[in-house]
Amino acid sequence: MANGWSLIIGLVFIIVFSAVAWFVSPKGENQTVWRSSLILSAWSCFIMWAITFLAQWHPLIEPRRNDLRAHAG
Amino acid sequence: MAPHQDTLFRSADMSLTQLYIANEIGREVVSALGELGVMDFRDLNESTSAFQRTFTQEIRRLDNIERQLRYFHAQMDKASIPMRSIYEFDDANTLAATSASEIDELGDRSQSLENRVSSLNESYETLKKREVELTEWRWVLREAGGFFDRARGQTDEIRQSIDNDDAPLLRDVEQHAPQEETERSFSVMNIGFVAGVIPRERIAAFERILWRTLRGNLYMNQSEISEPIINPENNEEINKNVFVIFAHGKEIIAKIRKISESLGADLYSVDENSDLRRDQIHEVNTRLDDLKSVLRNTKQTLDAELTAIGRSLAAWMVIIKKEKSVYQTLNKFSYDQARKTLIAEAWCPTSSLGLIKSTLQDVNDRAGLSVPTIVNQIKTSKTPPTYVKTNKFTLAFQTIIDAYGTAKYQEVNPGLPTIITFPFLFAVMFGDFGHGCIMTLAAVAMIYWERPLSRGKQDELFAMAFYGRYIMLMMGIFSMYTGLIYCDAFSKELAIFPSMWEWPEDFQPGEMIVATRKKGYTYPFGMDWKWHDTDNDLLFSNSYKMKLSILMGWAHMTFSLCWSFVNARHFKSPIDIWGNFLPGMIFFQSIFGYLVFAIIYKWSVDWYAVGKSPPGLLNMLIYMFLQPGDVGDTPLYNGQGTVQVILLLLAVICVPILLFLKPLYLRREHNKARALGYRGIGETARVSAHDDDDEDGTLNGNRESFADDEDGVALITQDIGAGEEHEEFEFSEEMIHQVIHTIEFCLNCVSHTASYLRLWALSLAHQQLSIVLWDMTLNIAFGMSGVVGIIATVCLFYLWFVLTVFVLCIMEGTSAMLHSLRLHWVEAMSKHFIGDGIPFEPFSFKVLLEEEPVE
pLDDT digits (tens, 9 = 90+) for B2-59: 446 788 888 889 999 999 988 888 888 898 898 888 999 998 888 888 888 888 888 9
Residue A67 contacts B, CB cutoff 8 Å: yes
Q: How far off is chain B from A63, nearest CA to CA, in Å?
A: 6
Beta-sheet pairing, B236-238 with B501-502: unpaired
pLDDT for B824 equals 95
The answer to whether residue A15 sits within a structural domain is: yes
**Band (A72; pLDDT cuts 50, 70, 90):** very low
- Contact B645/A at CB under 8 A: no
On whether the CB atoms of residues A1 and B518 are closer than 8 A, the answer is no
**Average pLDDT in the B268-275 region?**
78
The reply to whether B843 touches chain A by the CB within 8 Å rule is no
Higher model confidence: residue B191 or residue B764?
Answer: B764
**Residues of chain B with pLDDT > 70: what percent?**
88
Query: What angle in degrees, to the nearest 10, is found between the helix axes of B537-570 and B731-755?
Result: 150
A38 occurs within a structural domain: yes
Residues of chain B positioned with their CB less than 8 A from the CB of A67: 510, 533
**Residue A30 placed within a domain:** yes
Nearest to A68 among B419, B503, B521 (CB): B503
pLDDT score recorded for residue B166? 53
Say yes or no for a CB contact (<8 Å) between B420 and A40.
yes
The Cα B686–Cα B699 span in angstroms is: 8
Highest mean pLDDT (candidates B130-139, B164-173, B231-240, B472-481):
B472-481
Residue of A29, A36, A39, A65 to mutate when probing chain B, most B C-beta within 10 A = A65
Contact B118, B305 (CB under 8 A): no
- For B615, the closest chain A residue by CA position comes to A60
Per the CB < 8 Å rule, is B603 touching A58?
yes
Q: What is the mean pLDDT of residues B540-554?
A: 95
A59 contact B CB<8A = yes
Closest chain A residue to B601, measured at CA:
A54
Say yes or no: A64 contacts chain B, CB-CB below 8 A: yes
Best to test chain B binding among A54, A61, A71 (most B CBs inside 10 Å) = A54
Q: Does pLDDT of B87 surpass 90? A: no
Of A37, A52, A62, the CB nearest to B517: A62
Chain B residues inside the 8 Å CB shell of A54: 600, 603-604
> Which residue of B426, B534, B551, B560 is the best one to mutate when testing the A interface, meaning the one whose CB has the most A CBs within 10 A?
B534
Contact between residue B689 and residue B376 where contact means Cβ atoms under 8 Å apart: yes
Residue A62 in domain: no
**B177 SS3 class:** coil
pLDDT score recorded for residue B408:
92
Closest-approach residue (CA) in chain B for A30:
B7
Out of B523, B534, B608, whose CB is closest to A65? Answer: B534
pLDDT of residue B434: 95
B389–A29: do the CB atoms touch at under 8 Å? Answer: yes
| pLDDT, position B83 | 83
User: B682-734 pLDDT, tens per residue?
Assistant: 444 444 444 444 444 444 444 444 444 444 333 444 433 344 445 678 889 99
The phi, psi pair for B387, rounded to 5°, reads: -130, 110
Among A33, A45, A54, beta carbon nearest to B604: A54
* Percent of chain B clearing pLDDT 90 (strictly above): 40
**Residues of B in Cβ contact (< 8 Å) with A37:** 419-420
Question: What's the pLDDT score for residue B715?
Answer: 40
**pLDDT tens, residue by residue, B113-142:** 999 888 988 888 888 888 888 888 888 888
CA distance B818 to B422: 10
Q: Hey, what amino acid is at B453? A: L
What pLDDT score was predicted for residue B662? 93
From CA B604, how far away is CA A50, in angstroms rounded?
11
* β-bridge mates for residue B40, sequence order: B347
Phi, psi of B302 (to 5 degrees): -60, -45
Q: Which residue has the higher pLDDT, B156 or B579?
A: B579
Query: For residue B408, which amino acid is it?
Result: K
State CA B44 to chain mean position distance: 31
Asked if A47 lies within 8 A of B511 by C-beta distance, the reply is: no
Give the closest of A52, A59, A64 to B485, CB-based. A52
What integer is the mean pLDDT of A4-23?
A: 93
CA B147 vs CA B99, B154, B197: distances in Å: 71, 11, 14
CB contact burial B108-129 (16+ within 10 A = b; e otherwise): eebeebbeebeebbeebeebbe
CA atoms of B740 and B495, how far apart (whole Å): 52
Residue A64 is assigned to a structural domain of this protein: no
Domain span including residue A42: 5-57
How many CA within 13 A on the CB side of residue B845?
A: 24
Segment B89-112 shows an average pLDDT of 77
* Region of poorest pLDDT, from A18-22, B364-368, B763-767: B364-368
The residue type at B379: K
| Count of A-B CB contacts under 8 Å | 152
pLDDT, tens digit, 9 for 90 and up, residues B436-468: 999 999 999 999 999 888 887 778 889 999 999
In a domain, A43, yes or no: yes
Residue pair B190/B250 in contact by the 8 Å Cβ criterion: no
Closest Cβ–Cβ partner in A36, A49, A65 for B416: A36
The pLDDT of residue B180:
41
The residue ranking higher by pLDDT, B302 or B436, is B436
Sign, Cα dihedral of B575, B578, B581, B584 = negative
Closest-approach residue (CA) in chain B for A51 = B548
Residue of B nearest to A36 (CA): B417
Report, as an integer, the average pLDDT of B589-613.
92
Residue B531 near residue A63 (C-beta atoms within 8 A)? yes
Q: Does B673 touch chain A (CB under 8 A)?
A: no
Query: CA of B421 to nearest chain A CA: how many angstroms apart?
Result: 8
Query: Which positions 473-492 of B are in contact with A (Cβ < 8 Å)?
Result: 478, 481-482, 485
**B486 neighbors B431 (Cβ within 8 angstroms):** yes
Least Cα separation, residue A14 to chain B (angstroms): 15
Nearest-CB residue to B521 (from A1, A48, A68): A1
Say how far apart CA B500 and CA B487 lie, in whole Å.
14
* pLDDT at residue B493 is higher than 70: yes
Residues B67 and B89: their CA atoms lie apart, in Å, by 22
- Tell me which range, A24-33, B90-99, B395-404, is most confidently predicted by mean pLDDT: B395-404
Residue B808's pLDDT is what? 93
Where do the H-state alpha helices sit in B368-503? 395-404, 415-430, 433-448, 450-455, 460-467, 469-486
* CA neighbor of B534 nearest in space, from B509, B512, B507, B506: B512
Which of A7, A11, A60, A69 to probe the B interface (max B CBs under 10 A)? A60
Q: What is the pLDDT of residue B237?
A: 81
Question: For position B232, what pLDDT does the model report?
Answer: 72
Distance from CA of B438 to the nearest CA of A (A): 20
Do B427 and B436 meet the contact criterion of CB atoms below 8 Å apart?
yes
> d(Cα B499, Cα B504) in Å, to the nearest integer?
14
B768-812 residue pLDDT tens: 999 999 999 988 888 888 899 999 999 999 999 999 999 999 999
Chain A CA closest to residue B540: A61
The answer to whether position A72 is within a domain reads: no
Q: Which of B394, B424, B524 lies closest to A33 in CB terms? A: B394
Closest chain A residue to B9 measured between Cα atoms?
A32
The mean pLDDT value for B373-377 works out to 87
Give the total number of structural domains in chain A: 1
Q: What is the mean pLDDT of residues B60-86?
A: 88
**CB of A40 closer than 8 Å to CB of B420:** yes
- The answer to whether A65 contacts B513, with C-beta atoms less than 8 Å apart, is yes
Q: Does residue B578 sit at the A interface (CB-CB below 8 Å)?
A: no
Q: What is the per-residue pLDDT across B642-663, written as a single tens digit (0 to 9) for each?
A: 999 999 999 999 999 999 999 9
Residues of B (526-565) whose Cβ lies below 8 Å from A: 526-528, 530-531, 533-537, 539-540, 543-544, 547-548, 551-552, 555
Judge whether B383 and B704 are in contact, CB under 8 Å: yes
Rounded-to-10 torsion of CA B506, B511, B512, B516: 0
CB contact under 8 A, A44 and B424: yes
Average confidence score pLDDT of chain B: 84
| Structural domains of chain B, with CATH | 17-116+299-370 (no CATH), 135-169+176-289 (3.30.70.2750), 498-531 (no CATH)
Among A1, A32, A65, the residue with its CB nearest the CB of B416 is A32
pLDDT tens for B168-205 read: 554 444 444 444 444 455 555 667 788 888 888 888 88
Give yes or no for a contact between B193 and B247, defined as CB atoms under 8 angstroms apart.
yes
Please report whether residue A37 resides in a domain.
yes
| A54 in B contact zone (CB under 8 Å) | yes
Instruction: Give the distance from residue A26's alpha carbon to the nearest chain B alpha carbon, in angstroms.
Output: 14
Please report, for residues B550, B600, B614, B749, the alpha-carbon distance to residue B596 in angstroms, rounded to integers and kept in the order given: 8, 6, 16, 14
B584: pLDDT strictly greater than 90: yes
